[in-house]
Amino acid sequence: MNYTIINNEQEFETIIKENLGVLLYFSRVTCNVGEALEPKVIKMLEEEFPKIPFYFIDMDKTPTIPAKYSVFVEPTILVLFDAKETIRKSRIISIGELSVAIDRIYKLAFG
């Protein structure tokens, strides 16, 4: 799965408006937990939720986006459907729990 690194607020707003569902992955380059979790989240999306794109937000390079969503710890995952936050997971994130949470909404949104 190819994913996009969001570099500015304008790009972020466009992505939110153009996609029914998105997964926003907030982390820092220096976050070891975030670095280890990222490929697992991408794999889960590829295998179970192919219609949800993965977007990475570097909290150091674009601090206004995490601030807008009150994201202050890394890693944090936000899943938005119809531009509304529906799932928030931070720090210790279980892929299984995340998958179950997304599955319910995914089925409603994408049939």
Rounded CA gap, 96 and 45, in Å?
12
**Helix runs in the chain, H state only:** 9-18, 32-48, 64-68, 95-110
Asked whether residue 76 carries a pLDDT value surpassing 90, the answer given is yes
Q: What is the pLDDT of residue 29?
A: 84
Q: What is the distance in angstroms between the CA of the first residue and the CA of the last residue of the chain?
A: 22
The domain locations on the chain are 4-110
Give the strand order in the sheet containing 76-81. Answer: 4-6, 54-58, 21-27, 76-81, 84-90
How is domain 4-110 classified at the architecture level of CATH?
3-Layer(aba) Sandwich (3.40)
Residue 3 has pLDDT above 90, yes or no: no
Q: pLDDT category, 50, cuts 50, 70, 90?
A: very high
Q: Hey, what are 101's tokens? A: 């949470």
Average pLDDT for 44-53: 96
Nearest to 95 by CA among 26, 31, 24, 45: 45
